[in-house]
Amino acid sequence: MSRSYEIDMCSGALIPKILQFSIPLMLSGILQLLFNAADIIVVGQFTGSQAMAAVGSTGSLNNLIVNIFLGLSIGSSVLMARYYGAKENDNIHELVHTSVLLSLISGTVLIVIGIILAHPLLMWMGTPADVIDQSVLYMRIVFLGMPAMLTYDFGAGILRAIGDTRRPLVYLTAAGVINACLNVFFVVCFGLGVAGVAIATIISQYISAFLVIRCMIKSDATYKLSLKELRIYKSKLNQIVRIGLPAGIQGAVFNISNVLIQSSINSFGSIAMAGNTAAANIEGFVYTSMNSLYQASTSFTSQNVGARKTERIVPVLLSCLMIVSIVGIGLSSLVVIFGKELLGIYSGNAEVIQYGLQRLHVVCLTYFTCGLMDVACGSIRGLGYSIAPTLVSLTGACGLRIIWIYTIFRLDHTLFNLYLSYPVSWVITFTAHIICFIVFYRKWKNETSARSRLSRIAAHSPK
């Protein structure tokens, strides 16, 4: 029965299968974003712009801390797709049980880190005095949900690696509806403010984690989970870390530049912070739609690497680049056209809306280049090379943004100039990723051809 949820990525037309994989993933990502959007909308409309700024100001900092662990889920997903393409069932069993236990351990560690570091890190970011207390409270409560968030991400990553993007969508739909209802319940009925939306978020996260784990326990497929067999298999942990840790470090260091940008935005005051928060949240819906193509490029490439389908690797990249361009340009255009109305959902304050429009007109209009950058990076990771795209991304995107903040932005201290650092870094990094893909693809292709020749020679050698 579980086979009906899986996608054969190693044969047949690519574009229909990429869309079959990506569309539920887009919807899943949008629903996941609605967790945070519901928080921001409810506090913005019922509590005020300061509470809205408090919730938004923690986003880049949360990502900075969490992304190293989320990177490990990428490593798990890449390995799952490769083992599935190669039909290595024993490796799948060990990987599944290692991944789930690793997610629980990592989530527990994150609770401690988040609670202890929330206040000093938010102070380091220059969070205004009228926002800091609410920001710390929100962040500490949200980190209590980290075991659930990581368990869902690891579990959903395993399902997506074999092509099942529909059931994670169903689970997030259920959790998202509960989150939205609880937001209103805690904030409007009980007046809990930022604490209320944080509690609603972690409840919904534990629900989505429970559903994905229940799915794996009840499955009769190769990824079936048995809680009694949870253990860390050293060889699988090493491979997860080898592929996932560079991705996690990339995400974390990326967010160092985002934290610096957030700190720079903080210098313009809480109204500018609220406008930036609303605009960034709207852009998030475009980003997560494009990110589904990053995950498609990674999974499709990994499965075909496992099956040694050399001829499908480049078409996977080209198909994903084409689709992500269409998605990015189309959605970004709609966001800019209806920007005022969309920002009005978050806040009725005219100044907040005006600050939000400033960001949308610079960042969102060029967002498709970020999608191109991510897809190219995903294909390189699918080939099994994780350190190189990390170094390229850190140098081309993160490093350039930091330099930009301390040079060009200091010379012209405007939000427009600050936001311009995003598209410049995306274009440069995408170009570098394409060059890396060509180099690594040729290397992998030559190695695969050499192994095939050796196998044929061995098969025809006298016994």
pLDDT surpassing 90 at residue 112: yes
| Average pLDDT estimate for 415-437 | 92
Q: Measured between alpha carbons, how far is 252 from 258 in angstroms, rounded to an integer?
A: 10
DSSP state of 4: G
- For residue 378, what is the enclosing H or E element? helix 368-382
Phi, psi of 130 (to 5 degrees): -80, 0
The DSSP result for 270-315, as a single string, is HHHHHHHHHHHHHHHHHHHHHHHHHHHHHHHHHHHHHTT-GGGHHH
**Does residue 376 form part of some domain?**
yes
Q: Provide the number of structural domains found in the chain.
A: 1
Average pLDDT across the chain, whole number = 86
Residue 316 is encoded by which pair of tokens? 């996977």
**Does residue 120 form part of some domain?**
yes
**Does residue 459 form part of some domain?**
no
**Does residue 431 form part of some domain?**
yes
Q: Measured between alpha carbons, how far is 286 from 367 in angstroms, rounded to an integer?
A: 8
Instruction: With CA atoms as reference, report the closest residue to 363 among 256, 258, 433, 235.
Output: 258
**Does residue 200 form part of some domain?**
yes
Position 326 scores a pLDDT of 96
**Does residue 452 form part of some domain?**
no
Phi, psi of 110 (to 5 degrees): -65, -35
Do 281 and 108 meet the contact criterion of CB atoms below 8 Å apart?
no
Q: Using DSSP, state whether 162 is helix, strand or coil.
A: coil
| Average pLDDT estimate for 8-34 | 86
pLDDT band at 65 (very low <50, low <70, confident <90, very high): confident
Using only C-alpha atoms, what is the Rg of the chain? 22
| Average pLDDT estimate for 289-316 | 91
Q: Is 236 buried (19+), middle (13-18) or exposed (0-12) by CB count in 10 A?
A: buried
Q: Measured between alpha carbons, how far is 241 from 237 in angstroms, rounded to an integer?
A: 6
pLDDT band at 51 (very low <50, low <70, confident <90, very high): confident
Q: Measured between alpha carbons, how far is 97 from 228 in angstroms, rounded to an integer?
A: 10
**Does residue 1 form part of some domain?**
no
Tens of pLDDT, residue by residue over 80-99, are 988 998 889 999 999 999 99
Distance of alpha carbon 339 from its chain centroid, rounded? 24
Q: Measured between alpha carbons, how far is 217 from 155 in angstroms, rounded to an integer?
A: 11
| Average pLDDT estimate for 249-272 | 78
Phi, psi of 271 (to 5 degrees): -70, -45
Tens of pLDDT, residue by residue over 163-205, are 888 898 889 888 888 888 898 889 888 878 888 888 998 999 9
Tell me, what amino acid is at 205?
Q
Q: Measured between alpha carbons, how far is 263 from 358 in angstroms, rounded to an integer?
A: 17
Q: Which domain holds residue 332?
A: 10-447
| Cβ atoms within 10 Å, residue 202 | 20
Position 445 scores a pLDDT of 86
Do 271 and 48 meet the contact criterion of CB atoms below 8 Å apart?
no
- Percentage with pLDDT > 90 across the chain: 40
pLDDT band at 1 (very low <50, low <70, confident <90, very high): very low
**Does residue 131 form part of some domain?**
yes
pLDDT surpassing 60 at residue 463: no
| Cβ atoms within 10 Å, residue 13 | 9
Position 36 scores a pLDDT of 63
pLDDT surpassing 80 at residue 461: no
CA distances from 229 to 88, 89, 93, 197, 372 (A): 18, 15, 10, 36, 40
| Average pLDDT estimate for 54-63 | 69
Do 370 and 332 meet the contact criterion of CB atoms below 8 Å apart?
no
Position 4 scores a pLDDT of 66
